[in-house]
């Protein structure tokens, strides 16, 4: 062993935990399996997928060393591994089913990663080729990815109680998870309870409206869309996305996307008789305000556009729906906004970068980071002329730690660099592969995958497909969706020498 | 009355000095020399020993004492001493503390720690400073109900906007009551249509914020408003509490603190104060930040010498009013002789507060107005007393005693009295009454 650096990460603990999570995930993943029996479709894709999940899970569990504890480094490794492996398992049914573009392993992995990370970018071309159970499989993995697998894991696996907070913080990159109860597993269970409750409510609302106004919104579609609206995920078994349904149903989807992007901790307080904690929260104001402002601008843009034929209600609906879909990083569409005037499209592009609140199912930069950055910038303007002034940055009256502010700046910078690099890769690779991609479309595709939003513009638009991008681009996107969902650090940290050695 | 005082420091000595002539006073101090000294200065019994222990307290016959005053420099010692006293008898206990946290804990549950009355030195000092800053136009200001309510008396000058208005026109504030009007040595109990004339002296009772707002109305020239610059030098507990109380009155003070960590803490806890981290003796910095143009400067550093230095500096730079915290009593006259406008000594204030408390038997708190023509009383209402259970308008109509209820506090919250307000047991009522009728009204409470 002399001369070599000893690995100091308790990887056995990470693998053991990964194994535990995988075995438990086999349960929700079996839902499409039951569905395939019900519809008389082939159960084989799901049998294989669930089988592999259990086998890999059991294998990893054998590595578990009870002596090794779950520390911060082990948590990072476990987070990165769990998201990668679950996406891998998720790809299996597409390959086994062997139908359409998604049968190719890279495409299958893209679809699965896009689902798990709640991106919602699809490589499917012809939806009618696929069985209902396979289409539901996409919805289920999105729902699982929505709130974060590790919050689920913490809720279910009582034995990771101590490391649970560590795991959730590694996954979401937020310091100090707000514990609602003394035990983190109990907190995770409460949050998951809210998530399940909201999803059930969405099923009821969608199905009820379906009975009233639109037979196409049957129970299958109600469940499928409930899974992906609260999760702000974006897949739909319908090629026209939510645009396939009655306007009333489109309106009904908006509040669920918005609630899904609201901090679940604050929702918990609101339900338990402390609504002011939510209503007075500055991040909440910022997020709703940004969404409202963007939607108004887009609506005005559409009204002024002579080519637009939506009418008054339609214009407002499409503006509100698509802005909400972009800001909350859901990625549903109510219409093919690719046809809109450039100004309106650029507003949607801007909306991609906002994101919802910390502690919700949303992705992207998130409102809190913008708010802290803006406030700290305003503080800098003041201290430029009053160098001795001590002014903490406050959010909802609570001072923010200076170190947390630096972390946020680092995160913003890092995101920007990765985003631009990805855009360059997309343009260059498209050029090489003769795919027709403009710079704006490349920027949109980069933002949409890295920030986990879903459709973008051009071929990557809501009614298009990512299958037209060259294979290499898609492979890069798979990695960036993964990095983006778990907020960069847990993945990047694995590639540093200091992580593996002391 | 038999009074046991624990701690023979400046506060204890001062209290002993004022009580000794009329009462039986026992002073306990852990330092035998200090205990010995006080025996020669005043006619009191002294005991050397640890006043928190039941052996020493038994020697001092705390069990038979009417009152125990724990006023050492150490908060915990004072609290424990009161706790011990409660195990020996049921005399009234008074504790002096510095920490506002102890005060808040006690306020949440009076009787906690075995303390019947708590005096928080730093808060008391800050309240005093803020009163001095806020109401320079007032002839008399007194706090009631642990600072929740203020009584203030103003002389109406010719240029005052309220001169010539009726009381109802001048009464524009939610929680403020006009309780008395003095004109040519004659007291009137004002009604809505009473005129306010130049030279009148008006007595108002209400929340400190509303009294402040009224002062701005009565004497806009001298009362500081939000545009005025108030600078506090030194982020000690007194400095912090002063800034906090000023914030409550809608001022935006500046606070200068040298220590980075303390400055950060202050900035986090004082959202409407501009905290500056710098050496306050740096004149270049003071003029760059326009501290020299401040209307009022409060020096609240931990050292008297530094406070003196800054005060002199501020005066020389041209600051209008300088208020200095002076920790040692001997320096107070020095400060004032040099020309510092007001020197505030926390120990004197504490001793005064405690001594005042020992005198009051009829009421919780008293302020005497205009050569004893009238008194403002704070009464705690008990179950079944004559004031409870009827609307105020009925109470006033049903008695010959002339009195005005200015404010009510219920569970540490201010209730503005109206004609239909019904008083409850446990309420603290602040009322103005003619001096002849004090005993009549006290007998009803």
**Among partner residues B264, B266, B278, which is closest to A388 by beta-carbon distance?**
B278
Query: Would the CB atoms of B267 and A397 count as touching at under 8 Å?
Result: no
Query: Residue B240 pLDDT more than 80?
Result: yes
Residue corresponding to tokens 């898609």: A474
Alpha-carbon span A439 to B238, nearest angstrom: 62
Closest of B217, B183, B178, B188 to residue B200, by C-alpha: B183
Partners of residue A392 in chain B, C-beta under 8 Å: 264, 267-268
Interface probe for A, chosen from B273, B276, B280 (most Cβ of A below 10 Å), is B276
pLDDT: which is higher, B28 or B364: B28
Specify the pLDDT at position B444: 76
Q: In chain B, which residue's Cα lies nearest the Cα of A396?
A: B271
Distance CA A308, CA A455 (A): 21
Higher-scoring residue by pLDDT: B142, A236? A236
Q: Provide the number of CB pairs (under 8 Å) joining chain A to chain B.
A: 30
pLDDT-derived band of residue A172, with 50, 70 and 90 as boundaries?
low
Cβ <8 Å between A399 and B267: yes
Cβ separation of A392 and B267 shorter than 8 Å?
yes
- CA distance to partner chain A, nearest, from residue B267 (Å): 6
Q: Give chain A positions within 8 Å (CB) of B239.
A: none
Interface contact A390-B264, CB threshold 8 A: yes
Give yes or no for B278 touching A (CB within 8 A). Answer: yes
Question: Which residues make Cβ contacts (< 8 Å) with residue A325, sequence separation at least 6?
Answer: A234, A257, A331, A332, A333, A334, A454
Q: Which residues of A touch B256 (CB under 8 A)?
A: 388
At residue A487, the pLDDT reads: 81
Task: Quote the CA–CA distance of B165 and A464 in Å, as a whole number.
Answer: 76
Closest chain B residue to the Cα of A394, Cα to Cα: B268
The chain A residues in contact with chain B (CB within 8 A) are: 386, 388-392, 394, 397, 399
Is the pLDDT at A101 greater than 80, yes or no? yes
Q: Which secondary structure element, helix H or strand E, spans residue B32, and what is its range?
A: helix B32-41
Sheet holding B342-344, edge to edge: A389-390, B274-277, B254-257, B230-233, B296-299, B321-325, B342-344
Q: Give the pLDDT confidence score for residue A436 in this predicted structure.
A: 81
The pLDDT value recorded for residue A54 is 92
Cross-chain residue pair B289–A388, CB shorter than 8 Å:
yes
Q: What gap in Å lies between CA B370 and CA B376, rounded to an integer?
A: 11
A-chain residues near B285 (CB < 8 A): 388
**pLDDT at B122 exceeding the cut of 80:** yes
Instruction: Provide, rounded to the nearest whole percent, the portion of chain A with pLDDT above 90.
Output: 31
B16 touches chain A (CB under 8 A): no
Choose among A388, A389, A397: nearest Cβ to B271.
A397
Nearest Cα of chain A lies from the Cα of B263 at a distance, in angstroms, of 7
Q: Note whether A392 contacts B268, CB cutoff 8 Å.
A: yes
pLDDT band at A124 (very low <50, low <70, confident <90, very high): confident
pLDDT grade for A177, boundaries at 50, 70 and 90? low
Cα gap B322→B300, rounded to integer Å: 11
- Average pLDDT in the A469-483 region? 89
Nearest to A389 among B268, B271, B276 (CB): B276
Average pLDDT of the residues of chain B: 85
**Cβ B335 vs Cβ B350: under 8 Å:** no
For the residues of B70-105, what is the DSSP string, one character each? Answer: E--S-HHHHHHHHHHHHHH---EEEEEES-HHHHHH
The Cα of A364 is separated from the nearest Cα of chain B by a number of Å equal to 30
pLDDT of A2 above 50:
no
Contact A327, A291 (CB under 8 A): yes
B119 to A4, B179, B320: CA distances (angstroms): 68, 28, 31
Question: Which residue in chain B has the smallest CA separation from A387?
Answer: B276
Looking at residue B292, its pLDDT comes to: 77
Q: Does B268 touch chain A (CB under 8 A)?
A: yes
Is the separation of the CB atoms in B376 and B406 below 8 Å?
yes
Within an 8 Å CB–CB cutoff, is residue B157 touching chain A?
no
| Total Cβ atoms within 10 A of residue A398 | 10
Q: Is residue B296's pLDDT more than 80?
A: yes
Q: What rounded mean pLDDT belongs to chain A?
A: 86
Inter-chain residue contact A390 with B277, CB threshold 8 Å:
yes
- Report how far residue A473's alpha carbon sits from residue A136's, in angstroms, rounded to the nearest whole number: 26
pLDDT at B141: 79
Q: Smallest CA–CA separation between A390 and chain B, in Å?
A: 5
Q: Assign A178 a pLDDT band (cuts: 50, 70, 90).
A: low
The region of weakest confidence among A272-281, B4-13, B171-180 is B171-180
Higher pLDDT, B170 or A50: A50
With an 8 Å Cβ cutoff, is B266 touching chain A? Answer: yes
Question: Each residue of A373-416: pLDDT tens digit?
Answer: 999 999 999 999 888 899 999 998 888 888 888 988 988 999 89
Neighbours of A261 (CB within 10 A): 29
The answer to whether A390 contacts B271, with C-beta atoms less than 8 Å apart, is no
Give the closest of A388, A392, A394 to B285, CB-based: A388
């Amino acid at each position: 062993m002399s001369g070599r650096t000893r690995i100091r990460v308790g990887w056995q603990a990470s693998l053991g935990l990964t194994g535990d999570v995988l075995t438990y995930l086999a349960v929700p993943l079996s839902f499409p399996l039951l569905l395939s029996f019900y519809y008389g479709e082939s159960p084989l894709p799901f049998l294989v997928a669930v089988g592999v999940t259990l086998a890999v899970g059991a294998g990893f569990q054998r590595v578990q060393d009870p002596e090794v504890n779950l520390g911060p480094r082990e948590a990072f490794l476990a987070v990165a591994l769990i998201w990668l492996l679950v996406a891998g398992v998720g790809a299996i049914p597409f390959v086994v089913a062997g139908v359409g573009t998604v049968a190719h392993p890279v495409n299958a992995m893209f679809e699965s990663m896009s689902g798990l990370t709640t991106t919602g970018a699809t490589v499917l071309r012809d939806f009618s080729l696929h069985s209902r159970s396979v289409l539901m499989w996409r919805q289920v993995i999105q729902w699982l990815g929505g709130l974060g697998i590790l919050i689920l894991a913490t809720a279910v696996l009582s034995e990771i109680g101590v490391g649970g907070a560590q795991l959730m913080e590694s996954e979401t990159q937020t310091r100090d998870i707000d514990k609602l109860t003394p035990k983190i597993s109990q907190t995770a269970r409460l949050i998951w309870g809210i998530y399940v409750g909201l999803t059930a409510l969405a099923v009821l609302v969608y199905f009820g409206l379906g009975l009233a106004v639109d037979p196409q919104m049957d129970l299958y579609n109600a469940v499928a869309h409930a899974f992906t609206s609260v999760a702000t995920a974006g897949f739909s078994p319908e090629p026209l996305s939510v645009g396939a349904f009655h306007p009333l149903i489109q309106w009904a989807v908006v509040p669920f996307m918005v609630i899904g992007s609201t901090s679940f901790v604050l929702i918990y307080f609101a339900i338990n008789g402390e609504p002011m904690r939510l209503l007075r929260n500055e991040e909440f104001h910022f997020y709703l305000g940004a969404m409202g402002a963007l939607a108004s601008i887009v609506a005005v843009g559409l009204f002024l556009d002579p080519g637009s034929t939506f009418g008054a209600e339609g214009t407002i609906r499409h503006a509100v729906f698509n802005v909400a879909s972009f800001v909350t990083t859901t990625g549903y569409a109510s219409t093919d906004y690719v046809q809109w005037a450039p100004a309106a499209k650029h507003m949607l592009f801007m909306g991609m970068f906002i994101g919802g609140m910390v502690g919700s199912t949303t992705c992207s930069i998130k409102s809190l980071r913008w708010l802290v950055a803006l406030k700290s910038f305003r503080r800098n303007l003041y201290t430029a002329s009053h160098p001795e002034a001590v002014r903490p940055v406050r959010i909802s009256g609570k001072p923010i730690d200076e170190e947390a502010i630096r972390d946020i700046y680092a995160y913003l910078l890092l995101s920007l660099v990765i985003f631009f690099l990805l855009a360059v890769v997309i343009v260059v690779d498209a050029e090489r592969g003769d795919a027709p991609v403009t710079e704006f479309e490349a920027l949109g595709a980069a933002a949409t995958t890295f920030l986990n939003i879903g459709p973008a513009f051009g071929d990557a638009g809501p009614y298009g497909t990512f299958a037209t991008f060259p294979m290499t681009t898609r492979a890069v996107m798979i990695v960036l969706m993964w990095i983006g969902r778990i907020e960069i650090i847990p993945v990047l940290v694995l590639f540093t020498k200091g992580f593996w050695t002391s | 009355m038999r009074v046991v005082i624990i701690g023979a420091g400046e506060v204890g000595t001062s209290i002993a000095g004022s009580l000794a002539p009329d009462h039986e006073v026992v002073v306990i101090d852990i330092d035998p020399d200090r205990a010995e000294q006080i025996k020669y200065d005043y006619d009191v019994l002294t005991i050397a020993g640890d006043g928190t222990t039941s052996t020493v307290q038994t020697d001092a016959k705390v069990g038979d004492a009417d009152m125990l005053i724990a006023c050492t420099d150490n908060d915990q010692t004072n609290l424990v001493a009161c706790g011990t006293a409660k195990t020996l008898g049921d005399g009234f206990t008074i504790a002096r503390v510095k920490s506002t946290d102890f005060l808040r804990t006690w306020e949440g549950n009076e009787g906690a720690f075995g303390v019947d009355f708590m005096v928080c030195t730093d808060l008391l000092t800050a309240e005093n400073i803020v009163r001095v800053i806020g109401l320079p136009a007032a002839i008399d200001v007194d706090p009631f109900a642990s600072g929740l309510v203020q009584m203030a008396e103003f002389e109406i000058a010719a240029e005052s906007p309220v001169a010539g208005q009726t009381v109802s026109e001048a009464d524009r504030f939610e929680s403020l009551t006009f309780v008395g009007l003095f004109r040519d040595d004659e007291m009137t109990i004002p009604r809505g249509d009473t005129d306010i004339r130049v030279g009148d002296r008006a007595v108002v009772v209400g929340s400190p914020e509303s009294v402040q707002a009224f002062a701005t109305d009565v004497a806009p020239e001298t009362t500081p408003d939000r545009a005025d610059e108030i600078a506090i030098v030194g982020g000690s507990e007194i400095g912090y509490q002063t800034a906090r109380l000023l914030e409550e009155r809608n001022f935006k003070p500046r606070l200068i603190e040298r220590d980075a960590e303390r400055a950060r803490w202050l900035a986090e806890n004082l959202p409407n104060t501009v905290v500056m981290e710098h050496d306050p003796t740096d004149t270049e910095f003071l003029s760059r930040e326009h501290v020299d143009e401040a209307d009022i400067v409060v020096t609240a550093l931990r050292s008297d010498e530094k406070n003196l230095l800054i005060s002199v500096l501020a005066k020389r730079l041209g600051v209008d009013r300088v208020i200095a915290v002076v920790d040692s009593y001997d320096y107070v006259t020095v400060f004032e002789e040099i020309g510092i406008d007001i020197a505030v000594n926390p120990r004197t204030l504490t001793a005064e507060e405690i001594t005042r408390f020992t005198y009051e038997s009829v009421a919780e708190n008293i302020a005497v107005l205009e050569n004893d023509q009238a008194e403002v009383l704070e009464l705690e209402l008990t179950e079944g007393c004559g004031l409870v259970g009827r609307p105020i308008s009925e109470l006033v109509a049903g008695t010959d005693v002339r009195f005005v209820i200015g404010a009510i506090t219920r569970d540490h919250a201010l209730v503005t009295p109206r004609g239909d307000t019904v008083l409850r047991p446990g309420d603290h009522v602040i009322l103005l009454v003619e001096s002849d009728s004090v005993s009549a009204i006290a007998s009803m409470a």
